[in-house]
Amino acid sequence: MKTIILTTMVCLLFANLASGMHHCSSRDTLFGNESNNLDSLDKMYKPNYKTMIIPSLCIGYGILSLTNPRIKEINSSTRFEIGEHSLSHINFDNYTQFVPGALVYGLNAIGIKGIHGFRDRNLILATTLLISTAIVTPTKHLVSEERPDGSNNLSFPSGHTATAFATAHFMFREYRAHNLWLSLLGYPFAIFTGTYRTFNDKHWVGDVVAGAGIGILSTELAYWSFPKLSELFSSKREKNPLVLPYYQSNKLGVACILKF
């Protein structure tokens, strides 16, 4: 199971490196609604190309896994080791991909506020999922990589993993200024989701790593575009519901944002 452990360590590295992107103190109180170390809005929404390093490396690794013989061997050997140990297939990964996002709303509901209010938080999350879907879905059809279980040719990249890391990074972005450790709680669910996509024989390792990169990238792009989108849906338009369609795993959905 060496390659499985290696994959998990890579995923953990995402969270550790992500923690380096903050400029706040981890000594902030858990229930602090106002933080002295709250990122300025200009810094929060201003593109920081250093944050592109991790998703670029992940996506690059995933692309190489499609063509590079040595990296493709990691895909095959990992699947072989999983099969040797006869790990049980569970479907929790269908739900854990959404847990980090749900945690953000749950924490806000019990009074542990993040950076943004309800409307802005909805807009950012909806934009994140829309961007992720816009990248993942066409790529699946263009690459046409067969899944390990042979069920179809939509293996690359992993949509579940992209959603999981997108929502985990969304949680990190919302809470990092208040409490660093709280902001990292979403990443274990993302790691679990990605790992079990390989355990369930639905994805190769390269699919999962690329999906993680796409998820993080989507969240960063959503925060960068938020000021313009906020202006777009403000004033007269803010009274109208915002409806954003998304598509994942052969399922069509709609995200709706209402002004209360």
Q: Cβ distance 18 to 169 under 8 Å?
A: yes
- Confidence bin at 124 (pLDDT 50/70/90): very high
Query: For residue 156, which amino acid is it?
Result: F
Cβ-based neighbour number of residue 74 at 10 Å: 19
Helices (H), ranges, 38-157: 41-45, 53-67, 69-84, 93-96, 99-109, 118-143
**pLDDT tens for each residue of 132-161:** 999 999 999 999 999 999 999 999 999 999
Q: Is the dihedral of CA 80, 81, 82, 86 positive or negative?
A: positive
Percent residues over pLDDT 70 in the chain:
73
Question: CA 113, 114, 116 angle in degrees (round to 5)?
Answer: 110
- Mean pLDDT for all residues in the chain: 81
Q: What's the Cα-to-Cα distance from 258 to each of 9, 82, 100, 146, 232, rounded to whole Å?
A: 40, 45, 21, 39, 15
Q: What's the Cα-to-Cα distance from 13 to each of 10, 57, 64, 124, 145, rounded to whole Å?
A: 5, 12, 19, 25, 26
Which two tokens mark 14?
């995402």
3-state secondary structure of 191: helix
Lowest-pLDDT range of 45-59, 75-89, 119-133, 160-174 = 75-89
Q: Which residues pair with 252 in a beta bridge?
A: 247
Radius of gyration of the chain (CA): 18
DSSP string, 190-219: HHHHHHHHHHTTS--HHHHHHHHHHHHHHH
What is the pLDDT at residue 89? 75
Percent residues over pLDDT 90 in the chain:
61
What is the pLDDT at residue 3? 44
What is the pLDDT at residue 252? 56
What is the pLDDT at residue 32? 39
- Confidence bin at 255 (pLDDT 50/70/90): low
Lowest-pLDDT range of 84-98, 101-115, 116-130, 174-188 = 84-98
Indicate the length of the chain as a whole number. 260
Cβ-based neighbour number of residue 12 at 10 Å: 13
Above 70 in pLDDT, residue 119? yes
What is the pLDDT at residue 28? 39
List of residues 6+ apart from 102 with CB closer than 8 A? none
Element (H, E) at 49: none
Lowest-pLDDT range of 8-12, 32-36, 198-202 = 32-36
Per the model's pLDDT, the better-predicted residue between 139 and 256 turns out to be 139
- Confidence bin at 64 (pLDDT 50/70/90): very high
Distance from the Cα of residue 51 to its chain's centroid? 14
